[in-house]
Amino acid sequence: MSHDFDLFVIGAGSGGVRASRIAAGHGARVAVAEEYRVGGTCVIRGCVPKKLLVYGAHFAEDLDDARRFGWQIEGKRFDWATLRDNVAAEVDRLNGLYQNTLDNNRVTTLIGHARIVDPHTVEVAGTRYSAGTILIATGARPFQPDVPGAEHGITSNEVFHLPELPKRIVIAGAGYIATEFAGVFHELGSDVTIINRSDTILRGWEPALADRLLQISMAKGINFKLNCRLEQVEKLETGLKLHFADGKSIETDVLLWALGRVPNLEGLGLEDVGVALNDKGAIAVDASNRTNVPSIFAVGDVTDRVQLTPVAIREGHAFADSQFGGKPTQVDYRAIPSAVFSNPPLGSVGMTEAEARNAFGQVRVYTSDFRPMKNVLAGRNERALYKLIVDAATDRVVGAHMIGPDAPEILQAVAIAVKAGLTKAQFDDTMALHPTMSEELVLMR
């Protein structure tokens, strides 16, 4: 039976666009439906604009540090609207490039909410399209808690469009988004408070690094209220009042929810076609990204495997190669590098010390705790911390974790070595590149 399209993709984010482009390159007739903007979370309201804000904010400390390097900078002043609007313009440019990619690959773009009607039919804006295969790549959205007044808070969707820089901001959560925006707003001059339900920041990260970020953030002047339960958000004439279970309260101009992200499943018609969810409430897929309905697949955050853009892209690519390119491909989830663009940033690949001890029993741990030379001259009392985890039996480096300037840039290169299964002896055999921070990686004895 001939369908309108060979592949119908729902969601034009990182995973959906890659799958569309590659499938079209393999000769498939492809349509992609998008209800907001082509590019998805990463490009439109995630990684990309966030990283640009991180760059923008960091000039604050660089300009301070510059004095110790002989620069006299008079009358520095920050204008939020300039940064916000320039970032928005860059997002518009990238949005256009993503659309061009789809157009150049002859992928039909349909703007509107898509609903799956049956295993081979999707409806967008009242029109039904048939397809041999359907790919769900709708991503995730910020979780909003069930607290009275929660609607007065904003999420990472809105934070890029604030009319003005808040004097005070409270960020709920202590994961990736919370720590990244805490760094940004603190450097831009806002009074920042992180509130979290546990006494941990960056749960799941190597604890020594998370602790280092906590110590440095507190020394910089970021406030933390940990082990707390927010009970109510009250709207005041000027700002918000947050009421906690311990009877205390905080007033703020902006409350930012950063409590994790939940799969976008609403209105997709999944119940009608019987697509099964997993115990996390995400779409359940096998190693080939196939759901329990044979013609329907899913990739990216909507499957809640690893919520990272490069993972969604790999999944989309593997799906397209497997289903339309005659090249069955599965994503390798081992040793996925990850970074937090906090101030200072963290980078990590492979196992934490605790994970490695559970897996191997005997491990060797190497740490380097040092003050980067730029910080020394700048009079900035912030130490970097690098940690290598080695399987004692094989001498393989099974984990690398670092916090300090440029940690994510350095970590990407280390990730190649860890993924390749290189040994500590091979790290040590590598000549140091002096003077750098990354030379610590080959000097840990």
What does the CA dihedral 433, 437, 441, 445 come to, rounded to 10 degrees? Answer: 100
Residues whose CB is less than 8 angstroms from the CB of residue 136 and which lie 6 or more positions away in sequence, other chains included: 10, 11, 116, 268, 275, 283, 291, 296, 297, 298, 299, 302
Q: Name the closest residue to ligand NDP (Cβ).
A: 175
- Compute the least distance from the CB of residue 414 to ligand NDP, in Å: 16
Span interacting with ligand NDP, options 233-241, 258-266, 324-332, 433-441, rule CB under 6 A: 258-266
- Compute the least distance from the CB of residue 409 to ligand NDP, in Å: 13
The number of residues that bind ligand NDP (CB under 6 A) is 23
200 sits near ligand NDP (criterion: CB under 6 A) = yes
Among 67, 161, 203, 327, binds ligand NDP (CB under 6 A): 203
Rule CB under 6 A: which of 308-327 touch ligand NDP? 308
197 sits near ligand NDP (criterion: CB under 6 A) = yes
Among 252, 338, 352, 438, binds ligand NDP (CB under 6 A): 338
Supply the DSSP string of 238-295, one letter for each residue.
Answer: SSEEEEETTS-EEEESEEEE-S-EEE--TTS-HHHHT--B-TTSSBP--TTSB-SSTT
Q: Are 397 and 416 in contact (CB under 8 A)?
A: no
The residues facing 402 across adjacent strands are 347, 386
Site track for ligand NDP across 208-247, x = CB under 6 A: ----------------------------------------
CA distance 439 to 434: 7
- Compute the least distance from the CB of residue 371 to ligand NDP, in Å: 25
The secondary structure of residue 441, as a DSSP letter, is G
| Edge-to-edge strand list for the sheet holding 338-340 | 338-340, 346-350, 397-403, 384-391, 363-370
Rule CB under 6 A: which of 282-311 touch ligand NDP? 307-308
| Active site annotation includes 26 | no
| Integer Rg of the chain from CA | 24
* Phi/psi at 352 (5° precision): -75, 170
Rule CB under 6 A: which of 339-368 touch ligand NDP? 339-341
Which of 58, 120, 152, 434 does the annotation list as catalytic?
Answer: 434
198 sits near ligand NDP (criterion: CB under 6 A) = yes
Residue count of the chain, please give it.
445
173 sits near ligand NDP (criterion: CB under 6 A) = yes
- CA-wise closest residue to 418 among 403, 401, 437, 433: 401
- Compute the least distance from the CB of residue 132 to ligand NDP, in Å: 32
Judged by the rule CB under 6 A, the positions of this chain that interact with ligand NDP are 145, 173-178, 180, 196-198, 200, 203, 258-261, 307-308, 338-341
Q: Return the active site residues.
A: 434
